């Protein structure tokens, strides 16, 4: 049996409703996938860490800059960004929902910036990640609601097209900040 919760948000412009169904069982699977990733990665902070005083203190000591956005708190350090926002939706407490890596000091499942894209993709496939999107420089894989995106090379340096230059890790949320009301 799947447990579901509904969240209804009114659209003031045209009286339509946004309805979000929360499948608690699927969210539990996602959180277990994230726990496994946290154990097998070195990300500075665990994905879904709560935004609490102890975490904030550590972030303020190790980060170069903090930006308090309308819907998130973003911390920038040496080659990594930690983004805290609502999970599973905006109205909840803040959690670490996205990590952006541009340094080879950090890894996800042992995969680092500078690694070969083919072997990295094979690693994700072995642990049941599925391909969601691919374009010339971006490879997106998903397991439950955990997404890992590899950015490779750049348009100016095509010789590096098989080398990971950025890793983006995030959990899908019902983030409403980018919807037009």
- pLDDT tens digit sequence for 93-136: 689 999 999 999 999 999 999 999 999 999 999 999 999 987 87
B/e letters for 29-53, b = 16+ CB within 10 Å, e = fewer, are ebbebbeebbeebebbbbbbbebee
pLDDT at 109: 97
Mean pLDDT across the chain, nearest whole number?
83
Place of tokens 């340094």: 103
**Band (158; pLDDT cuts 50, 70, 90):** low
Tokens of 71: 């819907």
Dihedrals φ, ψ of 137, to 5°? -130, 10
* Mean pLDDT of the 141-154 span: 92
pLDDT at 6: 47
**Band (21; pLDDT cuts 50, 70, 90):** low
Judged against a pLDDT cut of 50, whether residue 142 lies above it is answered with yes
pTM of the model: 0.82
pLDDT at 180: 45
pLDDT at 67: 81
């Amino acid at each position: 049996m799947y447990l579901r919760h509904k969240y209804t948000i009114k659209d003031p412009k045209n009286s339509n409703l946004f309805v979000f169904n929360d499948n608690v069982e699927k969210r539990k699977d996602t959180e277990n996938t994230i726990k496994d990733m946290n154990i097998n990665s070195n990300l500075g902070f665990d994905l879904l860490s709560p935004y609490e005083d102890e975490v904030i203190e550590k972030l303020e000591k190790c980060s170069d800059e903090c930006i308090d956005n309308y819907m998130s708190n973003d911390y920038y350090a040496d080659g990594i960004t930690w983004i805290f926002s609502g999970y599973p939706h905006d109205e909840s407490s803040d959690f670490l929902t996205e990590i952006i890596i541009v340094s080879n000091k950090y890894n996800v499942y042992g995969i680092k910036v500078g690694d070969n894209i083919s072997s990295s993709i094979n690693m994700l496939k072995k642990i049941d990640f599925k391909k969601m999107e691919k374009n010339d420089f971006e490879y997106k894989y998903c397991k439950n609601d955990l997404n890992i995106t590899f950015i490779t090379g750049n348009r100016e340096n095509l010789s590096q097209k098989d080398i990971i230059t950025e890793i983006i890790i995030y959990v899908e949320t019902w983030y409403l900040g980018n919807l037009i009301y």
